[in-house]
Structure 1
Amino acid sequence: MVKVFRSPARHGYAVEMSPFIPNRVACAAAQYYGIAGCGTLLVLDETETDISLLRSWDWGDGLFDVTWSEANEHVLVAAGGDGSLQLWDTANPSAPLRVAREHTQEVYSVNWSQTRGENLIVSGSWDQTIKVWDSALSHSLTTLRGHEGVIYSTTWSPHIPGCLASASGDGTLRVWDVKCAACRLAIPAHKAEILSCDWCKYDQNILATGSVDCSVCVWDLRNVRQPVNRLLGHTYAIRRVKFSPFSPMVLASCSYDFSVRFWDYSRNQPLLDTVEHHSEFVCGLDFNLHIPNQVVDCSWDETVKIYSPACLSAGAASAAP
């Protein structure tokens, strides 16, 4: 069963499930496909029969990413096309708690650290910088420079404190040590722009990248001369990649080819399934941390969809190739 929420005239860019509330999801969206107009941050709750709107806020520019606090179930951060980060509280229906305006171009990525006791936020911008923030967004703690192109994706390691990965239009995947403000590894991962990266939830050395070249590459940081596997099947740029929180070898990708694909990268034939239920670019994708094999995605077709792909049901993803 697929549950659908429709947001007229708002084109979805990112979705993230709440780390605290099993049925809650946030969606960052924009008017006019993010090219012009305002943005909207939606907080949605899945019910037994559908998806309902809990809260929404409009912003003066498009919103391109969203992340939930790992310390407070009511707090989330959105990334804006005006270079801003906004700290929102679902208990406050009027205005953001704080707005940070240090980036000089579109902020395309924001992520809240998951390692215990850290409570930091990272943002990546078209201004080619990565900024690390405290949990109140009061000011940036560190600015990381080194990418030679637009930064599309920044994500904290779920295993190693002070460690994050970034993906850029310069074709590199980079791993950073925030404590030293240094790039520890720069991998020429694709010969085209990389729009997304994600860490495996089970192995601190495994990351995935999704590129304009239509491929997903899985990397082992202990040997980056070539990818562990190159996942082929998408026919247009891959907008987002996400590892499953329940299966070490499983990941998902969504694309401008209107599809979401599920993979087991340990297999010789890695493609598990292709889901084609959108009529426009699919930009946002996430797994539910509380409900095994439940997935949420969003698209430029003005819909957010929650579903459980059959290929991820018990045993399906772990069967022998």
Structure 2
Amino acid sequence: MEKVFRCPARHGYAVEVSPFIPNRVACAASQYYGIAGGGSLLVLDETEDGVAVVRSWEWCDGLFDVAWSEANEHVMVTGGGDGSLQLWDTTNHDAPLRVAKEHTQEVYSVDWSQTRGENLIVSGSWDQTAKVWDPALSQSLTTLRGHEGVIYSTIWSPHIPGCFASASGDGTLRVWDVKSAACRLAIPAHKAEILSCDWCKYDQNIVATGSVDCSACVWDLRNVRQPVNQLLGHTYAIRRVKFSPFSRATLASCSYDFTVRFWEYSRKQPLVETVEHHSEFVCGLDFNLHIPNQVTHTHTHTHTHTHLMGR
């Protein structure tokens, strides 16, 4: 079962399912593969008949990532090519609520903390820094330095307050502690650029990385000498990895080889399913938090696909 939404002259970079509304996704997009031109943020609802646009905004620069607020169903944050973060509200039609520009290069990653008792945003930039913000984006609370390459991915731990992971072009996965503004762990995870990382929703010590070397690796932070499993099968760079919110050992990866793959990392033969219906690079990927095994992904030219895993 699949529903497709197309948006001409826009390339989808990221898609995130709403934590509050089961059939709602936000999609961050750019013109001209993000190299030049503007961006769009779209909020889409899946309906009986297909996909409906709830709200869309244009931005003067490409938008590379989007994250929903975990506290307010109307609010989301995006990261842009001009080094700024934008705060949006679906009840405000005209413009972002706030724009914060501190990064000196593209903001490629934004994430909203999920642990109870804190409400923070983290951003990762091509300027090699990560920044932590309060939800009003008034000014950054702290700037974390240590990566020697661009940061492609910054993801909060779903378990440990004030802790996030970052993946970089320098080939390392890093784990950071916001309170002490320190890097707690630097893992030389791949001998190539790492474009994505994600935390297991069921185990605070398990993190996955996806790399330009076509492999995804699953790491146990208590013993990082070698990965728990190496997931091989993609033929081009892996653009994004995401753990399932429903199944402890399930993760999905999407790649520039036009496929989305599903894995069970605890198995010796981890590949479960390959979805090959794309004629474009697949850039964005998210599991639906409300509907088991439903995955939404976005890619260049075609905006969002919803795919129900064959289980």
TM class by shorter chain equals over 0.9
Question: Does 1:129 pair with 2:124?
Answer: no
Query: What residue in structure 2 maps to residue 230 of structure 1?
Result: 230
- Report how many aligned residue pairs link the two structures: 311
Tell me the secondary structure at the aligned position of residue 32 of structure 2. Answer: helix
Give the alignment's Cα RMSD to 1 decimal. Answer: 0.5
Asked if 1 retains the 8 angstrom alpha-carbon contact of 2:70 and 2:114, the reply is yes
Asked if 1 retains the 8 angstrom alpha-carbon contact of 2:7 and 2:301, the reply is no
* Deviation readout 1:138-197 (Å, 9 max, x if unpaired): 110000000000000000000000000000000000000000000000000000000000
Separation (CA, whole Å) in 2 of partners of 1:201 and 1:128: 27
Asked if 2 retains the 8 angstrom alpha-carbon contact of 1:279 and 1:301, the reply is no
1:254 positional shift = 0.2
Asked if 2 retains the 8 angstrom alpha-carbon contact of 1:109 and 1:154, the reply is yes
Query: What residue in structure 2 maps to residue 193 of structure 1?
Result: 193
Give 1:146-165 correspondences, 5 Å limit: 146-165=146-165
Tell me the secondary structure at the aligned position of residue 203 of structure 1. Answer: coil
Asked if 2 retains the 8 angstrom alpha-carbon contact of 1:83 and 1:105, the reply is yes
Question: Does 1:77 pair with 2:77?
Answer: yes
Give 1:43-58 correspondences, 5 Å limit: 43-58=43-58
1:280 positional shift = 1.0
* Deviation readout 1:42-100 (Å, 9 max, x if unpaired): 00000112111000000001000000000000000011001010000000000100000
Q: Which amino acid aligns with 2:138?
A: S
* Deviation readout 1:208-246 (Å, 9 max, x if unpaired): 000000000000001000000000000000000000000
Asked if 2 retains the 8 angstrom alpha-carbon contact of 1:278 and 1:301, the reply is no
Query: What residue in structure 2 maps to residue 319 of structure 1?
Result: none
Asked if 2 retains the 8 angstrom alpha-carbon contact of 1:6 and 1:303, the reply is yes
1:301 positional shift = 2.7
Asked if 1 retains the 8 angstrom alpha-carbon contact of 2:258 and 2:282, the reply is yes
Separation (CA, whole Å) in 2 of partners of 1:113 and 1:303: 26
Tell me the secondary structure at the aligned position of residue 132 of structure 1. Answer: strand
Q: Could you tell me which runs of 5 or more consecutive residues in structure 1 were left unpaired when the two chains were aligned.
A: 314-321
1:303 positional shift = 2.4
Q: Which amino acid aligns with 2:152?
A: Y
Q: Which amino acid aligns with 2:227?
A: P
1:117 positional shift = 1.6
Query: What residue in structure 1 maps to residue 26 of structure 2?
Result: 26
Shifted more, 48-57 versus 246-255: the winner is: 48-57
Q: Could you tell me which runs of 5 or more consecutive residues in structure 2 were left unpaired when the two chains were aligned.
A: none
Tell me the secondary structure at the aligned position of residue 22 of structure 1. Answer: coil
Give 1:209-224 correspondences, 5 Å limit: 209-224=209-224
Query: What residue in structure 2 maps to residue 239 of structure 1?
Result: 239
Q: Which amino acid aligns with 1:130?
A: A
Asked if 1 retains the 8 angstrom alpha-carbon contact of 2:283 and 2:298, the reply is yes
Separation (CA, whole Å) in 1 of partners of 2:160 and 2:301: 37
Query: What residue in structure 2 maps to residue 318 of structure 1?
Result: none
Separation (CA, whole Å) in 2 of partners of 1:277 and 1:93: 34
1:276 positional shift = 1.1
Separation (CA, whole Å) in 1 of partners of 2:258 and 2:166: 24
1:302 positional shift = 2.5
Question: Does 1:98 pair with 2:92?
Answer: no
Q: Which amino acid aligns with 1:56?
A: S
Query: What residue in structure 1 maps to residue 87 of structure 2?
Result: 87
Question: Does 1:295 pair with 2:290?
Answer: no
Give 1:270-309 correspondences, 5 Å limit: 270-309=270-309
Higher strand share: 2
Tell me the secondary structure at the aligned position of residue 257 of structure 2. Answer: coil
Q: Which amino acid aligns with 1:6?
A: R
Q: Following superposition, which runs of at least 4 residues in structure 1 exceed 3 angstroms of deviation?
A: none
Asked if 1 retains the 8 angstrom alpha-carbon contact of 2:163 and 2:178, the reply is yes
Separation (CA, whole Å) in 2 of partners of 1:185 and 1:87: 30
Separation (CA, whole Å) in 1 of partners of 2:205 and 2:227: 12
Asked if 1 retains the 8 angstrom alpha-carbon contact of 2:236 and 2:256, the reply is yes
Separation (CA, whole Å) in 2 of partners of 1:150 and 1:80: 15
Tell me the secondary structure at the aligned position of residue 19 of structure 1. Answer: coil
Identity of aligned residues (%): 82
Query: What residue in structure 2 maps to residue 119 of structure 1?
Result: 119
